[in-house]
Structure 1
Amino acid sequence: MLWLIQLLFPLALLLWLAFLPARHMPTRIFQSFGIAAILLGLHLAGLWITPPWWTPWIYWGLFAIAVSRVWRMQTRPDFAAVDYALILFWAGLSGFGGWVSMQALDARTPPPGEIVDLAAPLVAGRYYVTNGGSREIVSSHLRTLPRATIGQRNYWGQSYGVDITAMNRWGLMASEPTMVLAPCAGRVVRAHSGEADGGPVDLTSPTARAGNYALIRCGHFDILLAHFRKGSLPVAPGDLVRQGQPIGALGNSGASDMPHLHIHAQRPGTAAAPFSGKPVPMRIDGRYLVRGDML
């Protein structure tokens, strides 16, 4: 469904503009602005894995070609009832695209309060942020923030989490193993490494969604790194780790639909629900990461 929205919908709008432009100039202006607003909203808030992150730039190129073509075409002076309907339609698309864009831009501002600074949790490479930011439109993790259900309370700590996917030189998901590094110096308070990639997940468990994971206490905060590949975790509870130390390989265990690293900061949770602590926003290498960012 996602690739339909991000691939077919923009292409349909661009083909409409290029080959069936509005016949009246005011309507054509609204058409151009409506399509531009939708492209901007998708560019800023879309999850660009399939198709890859560079796809929106192709859309902008096609949009520029279409606009330069249709604005040289003749228009009709008469104004029919269909033009009023089309203006309302394109104005609605402009408003929706503008709202999505503003939400995505506003998500780049961290929530107020304390913030944790961490080092890069992955070896040097190409990475794409699939979840992150202070608005739900770019981060599904914020769904646990209300604490209205048991599941939300058990995983409250992950509300400001970030998901990072490794990419190859073509902008597609990398297939080679990627090493995860400790983003801070601390002590491992919990660890689990027995889950297979893509295995079943007990959704009622307070930890199973993380799959294979390491929970590191760095000062007053707990840092969770999750979804490791089975058998790749060399640390155990009680181990001391240094910043930059390899602690596992990026995987797809737990509640995960693609190989990626989940990382979040929180105040310590309870023994029964270790990810239930108060969520804390993070900066990684000085950056507050939002969906669409590249590392």
Structure 2
Amino acid sequence: MTLFYWLIYVLVPLVFFIQLWRGKFTSRRAWTLYTVMAGLFIAYLFLVGRWDVVGYFPRILIVVMFLTAAVRSFFKNRDLARRGPRKSWKYRFNLITYTALSLYFGAFVLLALWGMSDREKPVHLHFPLQDGVYHVVHGGSTTAINYHHTHRAQAYALDMVKLNRAGMRANHLSPESLRQFVIYQDPLYSPCSGEVIQAVDGLKELEPFEMNRDTQSYRQQHPTGNHVRIGCKGVEVVIAHLVPGSLQVEKGQRIEAGDPIGRVGNSGNTSEPHLHIHAEKNGQGVPIRFGGRFLIRNSLVFSR
């Protein structure tokens, strides 16, 4: 899976870069459509891609590379004829392909941009993690950048991981153990002051990527795994997938914002260690803001 990400996130942009930098086009129309297609693909990767897998720094690099190549290519091809050979099927096929791919990736870009705002009254919470750089894997108000959005109660849920110095969520290109994930065992702190409505502990953790038939029954019965549900500010805040035996709160307990509640783990319906948090009211998801920010996929939080 990691190899797939590297191929799509690094190799494909590199092909576009080389084509723009060195390639020859038959007309300005072909150049324009190709550049638009490449730009929308880069925008799609920038907004929708999982950059915690290959590293956060290449996310910026591909944009710089594309803009550099596009500017150079513009000056190189600005004297071309406006139209190419009308009778060439290859030329027409290329134009149709560029247009179709532009529409496809353009639609995802628009959905991602639309998902960057909450558009509903949010609940303001304290960030529940400390001492690190945290990266939003799923977050936003459209499914293009947040797969939770199809679930009514989790419409604005957030999944977060922690990045190492290389900008990656694990200390291995193909992590196989829980401890290779940077966020694993990180302490969690209450995001608000309120009452613990539910505290579930003692459920086993899964090894990374154990999303198979052997674990299906367990994941269906305990999707949130070890978790805490806190009633505060008129909503219920759910923090899920904690390490078994790490919970420091119990049902009915009054807690304050910043109180320790457990550690990030991989229990329940989850493929790898991460923080899952969402707020709901009467079964409907409520947007969350931390420090006034509505976090979306690829947002970074620098927490101390």
Give your verdict on TM over 0.5: yes
Supply the distance in 1 between the matched residues of 2:67 and 2:197 (Cα, whole angstroms). 54
Aligned to 2:165, what secondary structure does the other structure show? Answer: coil
| Further displaced range: 71-80 or 57-66 | 71-80
Shift of 1:76: 6.2
Shift of 1:98: 2.3
Structure 1 position 79 matched with structure 2 position 75: no
Counterpart position of 2:60: 57
Shift of 1:259: 1.4
For residue 26 of structure 1, the aligned residue among 5, 29, 44 is 29
Counterpart position of 2:50: 47
Counterpart position of 2:122: 115
Counterpart position of 2:265: 251
Aligned to 1:180, what secondary structure does the other structure show? Answer: strand
String of CA shifts for 1:147-206, please: whole Å, max 9, x gaps.
Answer: xxxxxxxxxx2222111111112211153632111000111111112123326353442x
Counterpart position of 2:279: 265
Supply the distance in 1 between the matched residues of 2:43 and 2:274 (Cα, whole angstroms). 26
Aligned to 1:209, what secondary structure does the other structure show? Answer: coil
Structure 1 position 178 matched with structure 2 position 148: no
Shift of 1:227: 1.0
TM-score by length of 2: 0.81
Shift of 1:132: 1.0
Do the aligned residues in 2 keep the contact of 1:24 with 1:83 (CA within 8 Å)?
no
Supply the distance in 1 between the matched residues of 2:274 and 2:106 (Cα, whole angstroms). 30
Alignment length, in residue pairs?
273
Q: Give the counterpart letter for 1:181 in structure 2.
A: Y
Supply the distance in 2 between the matched residues of 1:240 and 1:163 (Cα, whole angstroms). 26
Supply the distance in 1 between the matched residues of 2:290 and 2:147 (Cα, whole angstroms). 19
Do the aligned residues in 1 keep the contact of 2:229 with 2:238 (CA within 8 Å)?
yes
Q: CA RMSD in A?
A: 2.2
String of CA shifts for 1:63-95, please: whole Å, max 9, x gaps.
Answer: 234334544546765822233322222222222
Q: Give the counterpart letter for 1:39 in structure 2.
A: I
Going from structure 1 to structure 2, the CA distance change for 1:65 and 1:286 (only over 3 Å counts) comes to: closer
**Structure 2: which 5+ residue stretches go unaligned?**
170-180, 208-214
Structure 1 position 94 matched with structure 2 position 130: no
For residue 133 of structure 1, the aligned residue among 140, 143, 165 is 140
Structure 1 position 224 matched with structure 2 position 231: no
Q: Give the counterpart letter for 1:164 in structure 2.
A: M
String of CA shifts for 1:116-142, please: whole Å, max 9, x gaps.
Answer: 111111114200011111101011101
Do the aligned residues in 2 keep the contact of 1:38 with 1:96 (CA within 8 Å)?
no
Supply the distance in 2 between the matched residues of 1:222 and 1:125 (Cα, whole angstroms). 26
Aligned to 1:210, what secondary structure does the other structure show? Answer: coil
**Structure 1: which 5+ residue stretches go unaligned?**
146-156, 269-276
TM-score by length of 1: 0.84
